[in-house]
Structure 1
């Protein structure tokens, strides 16, 4: 049921379409505010099995010393024959000496070449060597890490197990506790050389015995043709062995060189043997565990690619430790969360800011994993999926993650509280390229003309409106005033499982009364955004924006009231000053009149005069 619902969700949001064979332009109907770009699958791992293959380098030494012994014995008996005048005419001495010298020169050149190569090997495996104590009864043994990181405990563990294999004369040890399988292996080309030596050893020894018998003869001439035949056979047999060993020595150089750069040479273990060992490991796994790929000959290169390698040397043993990830049977779909701007009014757009750049959802939409760029870079990247370790799985019903909640949201009018809604102003066309697809998201504030040029035929003009997608196939190109869209020749997957939630961000915006948003928002340079992520990063959180504007309004009212009170007080003081001034002026005039009256009384001589004065 869930799977069916999931498919409906993929198809439902798409609206009007301009479709041709080479391009497609679609407007997105669902105003969700977020877009999930499907990338690939994710497999999780919390453990690794170690398959250890070791090679004893003394095998090469034993072969080489045996060949040198054959060569010396042959030269010794040849020269003895040449110097014995009783069995070889004196006039033939020069001929026999030349024959012996020719054999010696030919074989010695091979031997010197092999010895020089052996010096290179010894130098490579002996650099930065150190003595580890406590490996064998506290005495210590010469050990070295050629590639990777290996602790003292690792040295001790492998040395102990390899000694156990040698003592018990077994080929393999399976350690469940350490999740390690140790396999004794000789380079299979060296095995063939050993068989070759065994096959020719009898003939070589027989020839040496014959030469010795001829050299020790007394008083009777030898059959020179017979001895020459023996020498020719001996030369041929030894040259074959020396040629083979020279090749194997150079092969050992290649093994050591590849080990130093973190690779295992193909001659260490054959593909058939490698698969056989993995099959044995697979039997031990839990029902919820498996290898990331089926154990088949076709998948050997994939199994090796996902594995890590350590190479160490303990004494004369070269050990290759292959760590193969064991994955959980539950797989996840990996999405890249992209904010999707939805228009609210002129130039004002709302979107949902993702809490994590990547979201992994289980196939049943019950479990989720949140990943960032750093964590994803640590995952093993295969062509069709990632293998990630140390991931934290979340049960969606109990999580507060916005993106995970949106996947299971049944109510399109309610955006989960965990989601962060942001708002921004868009004045120009903004385009965002999707990963692994020749598809671009776009948002156009005004109808924008786009030129589609597919090389064959005349260019086609289309109009971009609102928010939607542009799909192109090679060799088509799409050109606008600001952008040129060029598809790649090949993409990882042709099937798109991109997802758009059913929620309606516009319906959710009503509770915020977006009409209160001021027309001058936001006060940032928004003339150009390279993609939707940068657009979201420069956007303002809606709650904070509205609260900021409310605070600005309150501050404005407060400042205005303070201004009115100040002006009122000033006017009152001014009026009071004017009133006091007028009263003071009147009092001054009255006081002046009184003084004039008193002066007149002082100057009067009689009452009659006073009356006269009053009459006057």
Structure 2
């Protein structure tokens, strides 16, 4: 039901292996875009067709009024709704509410819709897009800047534009037939059929443009939440685009995942997308991280109090930072204060942006890197601390159902793991307790519960073994220490920093306590 591993030798710090990480060192940028000029033209075509039909109904009122009235009333509702949808998109692009206007009212003004881009970016992207348009190419590599421009988005919408143009041609032909029927025929049935067909086709065109505007709006709103709309670029298209860049990547840099369709959904989770508007085009700048091939092991640095039997106090080493990343080759390391800039890609696989330099272990050793190499004596760079109070600590480790404990006295533990019979065990000092799933650990102060289900995990924890020379702390044994019990739920650096005292401060206190008192000579009068 359990495994208990006592830690008797002084270690100072427990190196809890968290996961394997790779550092993000660069990015590849993919730009795709959508030209809104065809949408502008479609809006104009619908407006002209509406005016044209409205004029015909007015000029030939006697023949058409009976058949025009209801369709025109419907169009009088659909046209303003279409313009409202267009205006909503303009508002999102322009970041403020505007009066109704065509896109080309803001068409040549660079606008960052979401993200951070500047005018220089605008000019550069505009010229690059013009180049791909001029050459009628599907792809443009700008290897020096690690940018690739693709027409994938505009190709997606080209089919829709073609469908609209085909239906528009049918509408224009229908108008000519309708005009001829109205002028040359007194057949009211024929006039009615021609008018109904015209309005049906015009309504279809309005719906097509309405859907396009909604889709374009959704692509921009998706980008606001840092998500890629599949009509901007599909997962499979993204893999195809990135595959074409592999030979152009800088040395020692790779994409975080294999470039195959099975891994496509993972790329969507790590990309960053910015949206910009310039020269009547909506552009999407998709940024994909590039990681160094060097693998690092990430350790959570846990202060590890060990009982010093000479002083009956607990001593540990206070880490200078929370996490330590060490290269697989053991030649480089980097300190990390937190993991806020990391992206988890799996249980034991993470990529991180690192604002700290990478240091060589040999040329710039620190306490935390020297300890992990198991030195014989305590490195001088380590900050040794002592806790002069009674403590009870239970710190849950990343290994499932495992706790690191520090117990000042023999502690009775009741371990209940249904349906097995509860067992009583005794623990003291420092060690690691691992139990099976679905158990409860009872102490006089604490109840700990293990997970009901567990998963396999591979961790490479490190417990240094070294000796410290305590002979020069002899006076400390007689320094009065408060007798209090503290229950600490985790071995947090800040918690122990508050509770502990630097040993050199205790030395000063001891020296003051036991040094001879010097009384100056006072003359007698």
TM-score band, normalised by the shorter chain? 0.7 to 0.9
**Within 2, Cα distance between the matches of 1:503 and 1:27?**
13
Equivalences for residues 290-329 of structure 1 within 5 A:
290-329=254-293
1:162 to 129, 136, 140: 129
Q: TM-score normalised to the size of structure 2? A: 0.87
The alpha-carbon deviation at position 260 of structure 1 amounts to 4.1
1:143 to 110, 117, 135: 110
The alpha-carbon deviation at position 333 of structure 1 amounts to 1.2
**Within 1, Cα distance between the matches of 2:327 and 2:483?**
40
The alpha-carbon deviation at position 424 of structure 1 amounts to 2.2
User: What is the number of equivalent residue pairs in this alignment?
Assistant: 512
**Higher RCO, 1 or 2 (CA under 8 Å, sep at least 6)?**
2
Q: 1:454 to 1:198 in 2, by over 3 A?
A: same
Please name the residue that 1:46 is paired with: 25
The residue matched to 2:145 in structure 1 has which SS? coil
Contact 2:29 2:288 in 1 (8 A): yes
Please name the residue that 1:60 is paired with: 39
**Within 2, Cα distance between the matches of 1:60 and 1:358?**
53
**Within 1, Cα distance between the matches of 2:246 and 2:481?**
59
| Residue 318 of structure 2 corresponds to residue 353 of structure 1 | yes
The RMSD of aligned alpha carbons is 3.1
Please name the residue that 1:397 is paired with: 362
The unaligned stretches of length 5 or more in structure 1 are: 1-19, 84-92, 130-139, 574-616
The residue matched to 2:381 in structure 1 has which SS? coil
Larger helix fraction of residues: 1
TM-superposition CA deviations, 1:289-348 (whole Å, max 9, x none): 101122233333432332222222224222221222211000211111111111122631
Equivalences for residues 150-299 of structure 1 within 5 A:
150-186=117-153, 190-217=157-184, 221-222=186-187, 224-299=188-263
The alpha-carbon deviation at position 266 of structure 1 amounts to 3.0
The alpha-carbon deviation at position 365 of structure 1 amounts to 2.1
| Stretch of structure 1 that moved more, 386-395 or 32-41 | 386-395
1:479 to 428, 435, 442: 442
Contact 1:42 1:388 in 2 (8 A): no
TM-superposition CA deviations, 1:38-96 (whole Å, max 9, x none): 1122211222222122222222222232234344445555666664xxxxxxxxx4xx5
Larger Rg: 1
The alpha-carbon deviation at position 212 of structure 1 amounts to 2.3
Q: 1:287 to 1:124 in 2, by over 3 A?
A: closer
Contact 1:187 1:269 in 2 (8 A): no
| Residue 50 of structure 2 corresponds to residue 113 of structure 1 | no
Please name the residue that 1:367 is paired with: 332
Contact 2:17 2:460 in 1 (8 A): yes
Please name the residue that 1:386 is paired with: 351
| Stretch of structure 1 that moved more, 236-245 or 316-325 | 236-245
2:428 to 461, 465, 477: 465
**Within 2, Cα distance between the matches of 1:64 and 1:190?**
16
The unaligned stretches of length 5 or more in structure 2 are: 98-106
Equivalences for residues 322-337 of structure 1 within 5 A:
322-337=286-301
